[in-house]
Copies of this chain bind each other. A is one copy, B any other.
Amino acid sequence: MSTIRDVAAKAGVHPSTVSRVFSGNAQISESTRERVLAAAQVLNFQPNAIARSLSVRRTKTIGVIVPHVFDGYFTDSFFPQLMAGLLEVTYARGYRLLVGGCNGYQDEHVQAMDILATRQADGIVVTSSRLDVDTVGELQRHNTPTVLIGRPPAQHANVAWVDADNRNATQKVVRYLAGLGHRRIAYVGGDPDSSVVKERLEGYLAGMNEAGLTVSEEWIDYGYFAEDGGYQAVERTRRTEANAPTAYFAANDLMAIGILQGLKERGLAVPEQVSVIGTNDSPEAAHLSPRLTSLQVPYRAMAAAAATRLIDAIAQGQLPRGQTTFESQLIERGSVSSIK
């Protein structure tokens, strides 16, 4: 591989001139430009991005950590949409994505810090916020370009984030269900330590309250985002049939599928006897029977917005700011009906 000095020698100029020719932003006479380009051509010269990064202290890369050990992570539609949104804008802006695995929330934090501390990326988007690991706090303390997908714990008021309207959307779902006459509505969340799940729970509680419904502890369960968790949630929520929910809201479609399955095995018809609403509008939702009504969260748009905000900030040499909430949309299909 040839270097800038090889080209300089061949073209009879100083290396700095070659550099200027390739970085574009300098006054170079047409004749020397041509000579340099010709020399580069025959030497098959390509500037070394690593050397450039070292010099300009910019990598044109943004980092993202994915918890590769959670199988469901790749099955759920969140991940593909996240990547799609991220790539859409990184590509358009001439950036690339540095993706690292991690084996849990604690490690996500370690990996994120590592990527930034070692200057492998210009900024990072972090996708999970859990209350037990203060990733956000440390990221802030290090003054490092970060934008979250998902709202941070309250103590970090001025981090940049994009988020879905988890609380409101859930409240709306409950309102919708209550409007159809449902009085016993179950909330099946994912990981109870994640902030999304907490926000949704708040929305659920608010919605129940708004509708004048008292909630029974039995209706609140956690399926940890897995199909089996949804399945078990129906067992746990239906100990006494008199108090059993007539509607379920699940924090993703995988759990909703588990719920559908559990209901079916108990001989309960959906939507005639029990209604079910999932979240994420994953590809399979439209193909289940009954077709699953699902709360569509615009993850792709959120990811794109996050990347845009991050890259804008990096370009201007400052920390990202701003916080945007995206509206979710209920995709009504066939898994919900009213109570007569």
Q: Is residue A329 contacting chain B, with contact meaning CB distance below 8 A?
A: no
Q: Is residue A68 contacting chain B, with contact meaning CB distance below 8 A?
A: yes
* B68 close to A96 (CB less than 8 A): no
Which one of A117-125, A196-204, A232-240 is at the interface?
Answer: A117-125
Alpha-carbon distance between A41 and B63 when the two chains are bound, in angstroms? 25
Q: Mark A30-46, 1 if CB is under 8 A from B, else 0.
A: 00000000000000001
Alpha-carbon distance between A46 and B117 when the two chains are bound, in angstroms? 6
* A120 close to B287 (CB less than 8 A): no
Alpha-carbon distance between A48 and B114 when the two chains are bound, in angstroms? 10
Q: Mark A106-144, 1 if CB is under 8 A from B, else 0.
A: 000000001101111000000000000000000000000
* B119 close to A50 (CB less than 8 A): yes
A81 contact set on B, CB distance < 8 A: 74
Q: Is residue A51 contacting chain B, with contact meaning CB distance below 8 A?
A: yes
Expressed in whole angstroms, the minimum distance between the Cβ of A96 and any Cβ of chain B is: 5
Alpha-carbon distance between A100 and B90 when the two chains are bound, in angstroms? 8
* B101 close to A49 (CB less than 8 A): no
Interface residues on A, range: 35 or more
Which one of A53-61, A208-216, A331-339 is at the interface?
Answer: A53-61
Given the known interface contacts A50-B54, A54-B51, A91-B101, the answer about A75 and B120 at a Cβ–Cβ threshold of 8 Å is no
* B84 close to A46 (CB less than 8 A): no
Q: Is residue A301 contacting chain B, with contact meaning CB distance below 8 A?
A: no
Q: Is residue A327 contacting chain B, with contact meaning CB distance below 8 A?
A: no
* B46 close to A66 (CB less than 8 A): no
Q: Is residue A282 contacting chain B, with contact meaning CB distance below 8 A?
A: yes
Alpha-carbon distance between A83 and B66 when the two chains are bound, in angstroms? 10
Q: Is residue A257 contacting chain B, with contact meaning CB distance below 8 A?
A: yes
Given the known interface contacts A79-B80, A283-B284, the answer about A59 and B68 at a Cβ–Cβ threshold of 8 Å is no
Of A71, A103, A118, A289, chain B has the most CB atoms within 10 Å of the CB of A118
Q: Is residue A313 contacting chain B, with contact meaning CB distance below 8 A?
A: no
Expressed in whole angstroms, the minimum distance between the Cβ of A111 and any Cβ of chain B is: 9
Alpha-carbon distance between A234 and B155 when the two chains are bound, in angstroms? 57
* B68 close to A87 (CB less than 8 A): yes
A90 contact set on B, CB distance < 8 A: 101
Expressed in whole angstroms, the minimum distance between the Cβ of A35 and any Cβ of chain B is: 22
A120 contact set on B, CB distance < 8 A: 49-50, 96
Q: Is residue A244 contacting chain B, with contact meaning CB distance below 8 A?
A: no
Q: Is residue A220 contacting chain B, with contact meaning CB distance below 8 A?
A: no
- 27 example contacts (A-B, Cβ-Cβ < 8 A) are as follows A1-B119, A46-B117, A46-B118, A48-B54, A48-B119, A49-B118, A50-B50, A50-B120, A51-B54, A68-B91, A74-B81, A74-B84, A75-B283, A79-B83, A87-B99, A91-B101, A96-B99, A96-B100, A96-B115, A96-B120, A97-B99, A99-B99, A284-B284, A284-B287, A287-B287, A287-B288, A289-B289
Given A1-B117, A46-B118, A49-B120, 16 new contacts (CB under 8 A): A46-B117, A50-B50, A50-B53, A50-B59, A66-B87, A68-B91, A83-B83, A83-B99, A87-B99, A87-B100, A90-B101, A96-B115, A257-B287, A287-B287, A287-B288, A289-B289
The 4 closest A-B pairs by CB, nearest first: A91-B101, A284-B284, A49-B118, A46-B117
